[in-house]
Amino acid sequence: MTPTAPAKWGLRTLAFGYLGVLLLAPVAMIFYKTFEHGLGPPIEAMTSPEALHSIQLTLLMVAVAVPLNTVFGVGCALLLVRHKWKGNAVLDGIINLPFAISPIVVGLALFLLYGNDGWFGPTLTEAGVQILFSWPAMVLASIFVSLPFVVRETVPVLQEIGTEQEQAASTLGANAWQTFWRVTLPAIRWGVAYGVVLTTARVLGEFGAVTIVSGRISGETETLPLFVGRAFEQFNEEAAYAGAIVLALLALTTLLLMSIGGRKAKASSGGSLPAAELAVSTSTTKEGS
């Protein structure tokens, strides 16, 4: 049954109204507050040494955590989908752990593990390696909280493409490595890309886990979200709003890069978004040969 025209418009209004109040209004408010007195104040706030360092540190988190989680995520998805094994159920459960645990608990757990009374802490301290209150702990926390995204986005795509293309490649003489790069990866690229976007967004915005393990040393172990948090606590609203805008812009940039990359890949290889593919295939498969 298709809804009548008034019902359709009613539903649309409801959907946009709901999103407007819950999502758009707060974001719009941040933009408004940031640029209330022009571009000068936010630029000034974000060019302080502490602010610049926090941006740098956040980008470092992304630069380390996202590639690691991408490689691990794709590998793990291949393991889960292509190599059926009893232990897969356990592996699958463990991968979901970060979704189930509050980030602050993740921070506490890392704090305990690498602290002076933890399993790894004393050994590492003896070896002269500083984990806690330094960027390695923050990277560990970022990896932990953002780990499942690439796996979760890649698994269904891998399942959907099936194994025939890979088998065809092997009968044509391709080894496992060639098959992966030339056949599997191009076929799952949209799933992986979406996973990367989600991972990046998660790492950019991570607050809870990083708060605990970083020690929040301004200008040293303060990522952009922590900078925003501190600015807010210190009633430095201008810096808080400006920091929030920079965070949002970074996330938007990721999305933009992904869709540009995707479009390029499409232009050079003909692959397209699933919806477009579907439309093309339904319109062409009917004709005889």
What does the binding site for other proteins look like in residue numbers (CB under 8 A)? 164-165, 167-175, 178, 182-183, 186-187, 269-271, 277, 280-281, 284-289
- State the nearest-atom distance from the C-beta of 159 to other proteins, in Å: 16
How far is Cα 140 from Cα 68, in angstroms, rounded to an integer? 11
Task: Output 49 or 288, the one with its CB closest to other proteins.
Answer: 288
Quote the Cα angle for 19-157-188, to 5°: 105
Radius of gyration in angstroms for the set of CA atoms belonging to the chain, rounded to a whole number: 23
Q: Taking the complex as a whole, how short is the minimal distance between the CB of residue 84 and other proteins, in angstroms?
A: 12
Cβ proximity to other proteins: between 166 and 237 the closer is: 166
Q: Which residue type sits at 242?
A: A
CB of 183 to other proteins, least distance (A): 6
Determine the Cα–Cα distance for residues 226 and 230; give it in Å rounded to an integer.
6
Which residue's CB is nearer to other proteins, number 41 or number 271?
A: 271
* Cα 77–chain centre separation: 16
Of the pair 42, 191, the CB lying nearest other proteins is at 191
CA 265, 59, 230, 102 dihedral sign is positive
- Give me the least distance between CB of 272 and other proteins, in Å please: 8
- Of the pair 116, 268, the CB lying nearest other proteins is at 268
The CB-of-242 to other proteins minimum distance in angstroms stands at 42
Task: Report the C-alpha gap between 219 and 222 in whole angstroms.
Answer: 6
Hey, what's the torsion of the CAs at 53, 64, 138, 118, to 10 degrees? -150
